[in-house]
Structure 1
Amino acid sequence: MAHNYILQVTAGSEYDITKHQIVPVNHAKPTTIHSEHISVDLNVRIQSYRGLPQNSPSSSPYFDLPPHDKNKDQYSIAFKFSLPENINGNDLVFGNDFDHPIRDRLPPGFSTAFKIVKWLVDPGLDGDVYAEKPYLYGPAASSVNTLHIRGNGKIDGETEHDAGLVFTEGGDEDGMDLRKENGIPESEAARKKHFLNEENRKEWEWEAGKIYGCDFFNPYLDFNDFALRLPGFTLPIMKYWDGQGLRKVQKRSHTLRYVLKNRKTDTVLFVVLFTLYLKEDVDENGNVKDGVEGGKPFELMPKDQAEKHELQKNGIATPEEKIEIEKLPDTSEDDVD
């Protein structure tokens, strides 16, 4: 099934994909997002990438750097951001959410996979997958693999490394002073453990004007086969992507959404969408065809478009195609040499 689809990554300050920028995967130059709530520079890297835009690099020098070379990391969402107002450490969260229920679409083995993900990737991950609008968020302070803090500055979209945004745990002089003042450990593992404690999070503020560099990566999500590969456990996610099983609700595209948000105010700060499009919905220039919306189910599309696409998917001629067939001259065996 995966070979019928092609991946595109977009990002923006809200959920609406029509307001997003296309992210040039594996390129060094960051994508910059500005809104009244946040300023962000963003890089997305995917190992062995074969998606849009066309002719994107299949890899990035990032994957040759430690610890990614040793870890065999498969993807990275790296971002640096600045806030106009303080956000409490217990309120800034990072993770996945959905616009519709997924409780009836959860694949077999989901509970086991979730336990392994909490153990390996993010012990602070929590949420409600049975809600009307399901979510899985972790506190950003403990969820990101790398946290680098700098003094006041600007988000400028400048490349910092051949691979783009590359951060080490710690900070500049101002950032290290800030960490010490707040009792934040120097190492990645100790910092994560520190912020798994709710009281420690509540005592911490993501301060306005400071520059925070974050990187979220792991070797477990395979964007080529669209599978979650955990030690001793592989979960195919293609037909459950965006929580919609293909058995009942056919879709032109499927979306996995990462979001940074203030959960106290329910304010979305920025969104990264990984959207799978049917290859037939992408033209020869690598552009998504008019009328195709990322992650939109057939049931929410105009009826004629949905019916036409489903007929094509099932190998049945559409009404337009039937008319063209009827226009063809009749032939008999005597007409064929």
Structure 2
Amino acid sequence: MADKYILRITAGPGYDPADHVEVPVNKPEPVVITGDLADIELNVRVQDYKGLPRGSPTTSPYFDTEPHATNQDQYSICFRFTPKAPKDSGSSGHGDDKADDDGISGLDLQFGNDFDRPIRDRLPPGFGTAMGIVRWWIDPGLDGDAYADKPYLYGPGLSSFNALSIGPGTFDESKGGIWVEEGGDGDVREKAGMPSDAKARMKWALSDDAKKRWVYEYGKTYAVDFFNPYLDFSNFALRLPGFHLPVLKYWDGQGLRMARRSHTLRYVLRNRATGDVYLAVCFTIHLKEDVDEDGNIPEETAPPVPADDHEVKTSADDVD
């Protein structure tokens, strides 16, 4: 069944697809996304990629570099994130006025998946088991409601990001583009009590007290990488320890009905206090018969010119 579909990845500063651009998967040059709330530089890598745009590299040197080679990681969402102070300077957080004035509290910056429509009627057998494995084995900080009208599964960025650097990380074409190693400004980490090791930091961040001590400062750049070996986009399968699920028939909770010829899995960087979205990355599958030889999709135009306050472009300029 998987050979009937093709994957396309787009990204933008919010949910509106009109503000999204197609991501050049596995290419080192990052997509630059500038919105009212944040500046983002984004690389997406997918192992054994067969999707759009046509002619995309099937892999990235990222996957041959440690620790990803040993981990057998299957995909990476890697980005530089520079939050901006809201135009409305009034506090709207959880009562931590200092965090609101200076940046985003570690309690509030979340990363995860959400959906626009219910998926409860399409959840597969064993879903509860899969979620138990994910929370125990991968990210104990995950929280969500798969049975809501608008389902979601979010985790605090501090415990969900596999690698976090205080600063922009590096750009290394031989490693696939933006490269993030745990670390950065050691004084800032030490002041907050944040461990220098990635796994220790993720465990540390499960505590609300720890997250309260951390602020993503406005105007300061942070580099993060989210990756794992569990979601296989080449075969549309979820492979957890002791558990395998072909996800294609459940993608977006709708099944593969002819009435809907595309289905989306969306990753979101958001603020739980305000509901603000800083980045949305959409993994969408399309029927191959709907895509022409140039990679165009009916009833879809080239990425539109965004509104004046949402500049979206592809560039490698000013990359360290």
SS at match of 1:104: helix
Q: Is the CA contact 2:264–2:283 (under 8 Å) kept in the aligned structure 1?
A: yes
- Aligned pairs (5 A) from 1:1-337: 1-85=1-85, 86-150=103-167, 159-162=171-174, 163-171=176-184, 175-246=185-256, 250-290=259-299
Which structure is higher in strand share? Answer: 2
- When residues 209 and 292 of structure 1 are mapped into structure 2, their CA distance, relative to the original with a 3 A threshold, is closer
Cα deviation, 1:41-71, whole Å, max 9, x if unaligned, reads 0000000101001110000000011100001
Cα deviation, 1:201-257, whole Å, max 9, x if unaligned, reads 12211111211110000001010110101121101110111111236x742001000
Structure 1 residue 130, shift from structure 2 partner = 1.2
Gaps of 5+ in 2: 86-102, 303-320
Structure 1 residue 159, shift from structure 2 partner = 4.3
SS at match of 1:49: coil
Total equivalences in the alignment: 284
- Percent of pairs with identical residues: 56
Distance in 1 (CA, whole Å) between partners of 2:256 and 2:58 is 28
Cα deviation, 1:162-189, whole Å, max 9, x if unaligned, reads 3101111001xxx211001111000011
- Cα RMSD (Å) of the superposition? 1.7
Structure 1 residue 292, shift from structure 2 partner = 9.0
SS at match of 2:119: coil
Question: Scaled by the length of structure 2, what TM-score is found?
Answer: 0.85
Structure 2 match to 1:321: none
- Residue 246 of structure 1 aligns with an amino acid whose one-letter code is L
- Residue 283 of structure 1 aligns with an amino acid whose one-letter code is D
Of residues 188-197 and 281-290 in structure 1, the stretch that sits farther from structure 2 once superposed is: 281-290
Gaps of 5+ in 1: 294-337
Distance in 2 (CA, whole Å) between partners of 1:121 and 1:215 is 15
Distance in 2 (CA, whole Å) between partners of 1:224 and 1:292 is 25
Distance in 1 (CA, whole Å) between partners of 2:163 and 2:300 is 39
Cα deviation, 1:291-320, whole Å, max 9, x if unaligned, reads 599xxxxxxxxxxxxxxxxxxxxxxxxxxx
- When residues 250 and 235 of structure 1 are mapped into structure 2, their CA distance, relative to the original with a 3 A threshold, is farther
Question: Scaled by the length of structure 1, what TM-score is found?
Answer: 0.81
Larger Rg: 1
Cα deviation, 1:92-135, whole Å, max 9, x if unaligned, reads 00000011111111111100111111122211111111111110
Q: Which runs of 4+ in 1 moved over 3 A?
A: 158-161
Distance in 2 (CA, whole Å) between partners of 1:2 and 1:161 is 31
SS at match of 2:173: coil
SS at match of 1:165: strand
